[in-house]
Structure 1
Amino acid sequence: MMATRKLCLSFNRALGVANRSLKSLNSPGESLDSRTYASLTHGIHVFHCPDEVGIVAKLSECIASNGGNILGADVFVPENKNVFYSRSEFIFDPLKWPRAQMDEDFLKLLKRFNAMRSVVRVPLLDPKYKIAVLASKQDHCLVDLLHGWQEGRLPVDITRVISNHERVPNTHVIRFLERHGIPYHYLPTTKENKREDDILELVRDTDFLVLARYMQILSGKFLRGYGKDIINIHHGLLPSFKGGNPSKQAFDSGVKLIGATSHFVTERLDAGPIIEQMVERVSHRDNLHSFVHKSENLEKQCLIKAVKSYCELRVLPYEQNKTVVF
């Protein structure tokens, strides 16, 4: 409890320094107005390091000393783990704190605290994440991702869609991709050949991958060859209802609660660190059609929220198979 009180006290003091620093952007006695806010840029910083006294103060001082202002901060210090996690959102003047200098300043903190992770992102200045989407026959998650990208709800650039299922030219998906200049790669697979080398060649320049109901298991060799994060989605009917048509199995069994899980892909099938989960009740009033519709809606919402959280630096690895999601 003493350590927690010290952390909160240090954090409050640090926030006070950061808030006071915002006045340095204006003339003495001048209040912050809309024109000042319009000239500021939004930044995000996440930090993961061994726990010790003074981390919050130094992080806040780094932002405040460069004229920035913290808008919100989350800290997680798990009990008896000697590890520290934080995520801060702040505004700053890029003319007073250039982007390259920001990287250098946070790098000093990484070295100072021997951090495992220190990532800073300025959405308006940094390139969008480049992703590729892998899908099979079902379209619902793929279509939702494409529409989310089109509407600006996802800060990504979709570089290509890869599928082991052929889509004829006049389908909704193909028309959308052609209209927006996104390549579609049909790679038919067999049990003997999953086309992983071909996929790897297509996705080398991406920042991460999204499996939008891609019904092929990626091998450990592929995961090691890609070396970056892969986000997957599946229904929450596992492990009770495996194999073909799990929704009908669950419906016939009279389940009352359905769900969806989005997680990172690891060599353990559907057992990677969980990013997001959603649930919804079903009842005797549902028929098979409404049951499947509710299940697919959950999958869409769960996947797009997981991708958005990942892009906003809300997801950090915790222990061997968990995540901290701020």
Structure 2
Amino acid sequence: MSQPKAQYVLTLSCQNRPGIVAAVSTYLFRHGADIREAQQFDDAETGKFFARIAFDLLGGAEPGALREGFAAIATEFGMGWRISDHAAPRRVLLMVSKFDHCLADLLYRWRIGELAMTPTAIVSNHGIEAYAGLDFSGVPFHHLPITKDTKMEQEAQIWGLVKQTQSDLVVLARYMQVLSDALAQKLSGRCINIHHSFLPGFKGAKPYHQAHGRGVKLIGATAHYVTSDLDEGPIIEQDVERISHADTPDDLVRKGRDIERRVLARAVRYHLEDRVILNGTKTVVFAS
């Protein structure tokens, strides 16, 4: 039987120097923390240090006092840090357009307990009738149509929903509208997108058909954080699959759907479990 996961996770990053691990682990021990998992990474190129430490609190230790006291260590080492309580699932707003395979997969993984999240809303620029085969029970659906002239108003509604639902994360589960720079900035570090890895080689409509026309041997998908640079945000997860000359465009689309589903699900899980730390234009991912 697998062990239950630790309730608290500390993530941190700072310039590397001797004594960081000793100071952090000693502090946690003295304040009633039982470390269950610890991972670290030294970036030789930037000189930065990254760590993820999962722990439980024993003997009635208070998380508030733990956070307050840790601030002194963080200041000493110039850390960016966060202590997260995983007792309550993260709140996630899901956005989708016509293609619903990623949305269906995320909802399934949530319902079977694989993803520790609470879906707060499903937002689409298509009406609910486009998803007749999906079970949205228990998750509010919002149809927010968009045109070139109404983009700002529609995004204001999206941002209003994010705040109203107190969503911690926004997932673009094949939401095929480009977010404005303003909304991307508001969602910085907490908005994940999925796209086929042909970009920027095959842009526009029917990328898999374009790839077939060029005789590609590999197809793939990339999950990344959204930034104002279209499809160029820090990458969280990727995967590929080999293609042969016998594969038709429909075969590529089918295989592409499978890759997109699993890549997005892994990226969302890594984020929910605090396994991703931003490192400039890249990420450090402490995958399990």
Task: With the length of structure 1 as denominator, give the TM-score of the two structures.
Answer: 0.80
Asked if structure 1 preserves the Cα contact closer than 8 Å seen for 2:120 and 2:139, the reply is yes
The aligned residue for residue 120 of structure 1 is: 83
SS in structure 2 opposite 1:72?
strand
Identity %: 38
- Match 1:304 to one of 257, 265, 270: 265
For residues 99-118 of structure 1, the aligned pairs below 5 Å read 99-115=63-79, 117-118=80-81
Which 5+ residue runs of structure 1 have no aligned equivalent? 1-33
The aligned residue for residue 90 of structure 2 is: 129
1:73 Cα deviation after fit:
1.8
Task: With the length of structure 2 as denominator, give the TM-score of the two structures.
Answer: 0.90
The aligned residue for residue 74 of structure 1 is: 39
Larger Rg: 1
Taking CA–CA contacts closer than 8 Å with sequence separation of 6 or more, which of the two structures ends up with the larger relative contact order? 2
Which 5+ residue runs of structure 2 have no aligned equivalent? none
- Match 2:25 to one of 60, 73, 87: 60
The aligned residue for residue 185 of structure 1 is: 142
Asked if structure 2 preserves the Cα contact closer than 8 Å seen for 1:44 and 1:87, the reply is yes
The aligned residue for residue 201 of structure 1 is: 160
SS in structure 1 opposite 2:177?
coil
The answer on 1:248 being equivalent to 2:209 is yes
1:145 Cα deviation after fit:
0.9
Q: Which amino acid aligns with 2:84?
A: R
Q: Which amino acid aligns with 1:96?
A: G
The answer on 1:43 being equivalent to 2:8 is yes
Per mean C-alpha deviation after superposition, the further-off stretch among 84-93 and 144-153 is 84-93
1:69 Cα deviation after fit:
3.2
Larger helix proportion of the pair: 1
- Match 1:92 to one of 37, 57, 67: 57
**How many matched pairs?**
281
Q: Which amino acid aligns with 1:312?
A: E
Asked if structure 1 preserves the Cα contact closer than 8 Å seen for 2:93 and 2:171, the reply is yes
Instruction: Provide the rounded CA distance (Å) in 1 between the counterparts of 2:76 and 2:272.
Output: 26
Taking a change above 3 Å as real, the CA distance of residues 304 and 169 of structure 1, as seen in their structure-2 partners, is closer
The aligned residue for residue 285 of structure 2 is: 325
Deviating 4+ runs (over 4 angstroms): 225-228
1:302 Cα deviation after fit:
0.5
User: Any idea what the Cα deviations from partners look like across 1:234-271, whole Å, max 9, x if unmatched?
Assistant: 01121221111111111222211000000011111101
Instruction: Provide the rounded CA distance (Å) in 1 between the counterparts of 2:282 and 2:6.
Output: 32
Per mean C-alpha deviation after superposition, the further-off stretch among 78-87 and 303-312 is 78-87
Instruction: Provide the rounded CA distance (Å) in 2 between the counterparts of 1:316 and 1:172.
Output: 36
Q: Which amino acid aligns with 1:62?
A: Y
Per mean C-alpha deviation after superposition, the further-off stretch among 247-256 and 163-172 is 163-172
The aligned residue for residue 193 of structure 2 is: 232
SS in structure 2 opposite 1:110?
helix
Q: Which amino acid aligns with 2:20?
A: I
Instruction: Provide the rounded CA distance (Å) in 1 between the counterparts of 2:131 and 2:193.
Output: 27
For residues 134-153 of structure 1, the aligned pairs below 5 Å read 134-153=95-114
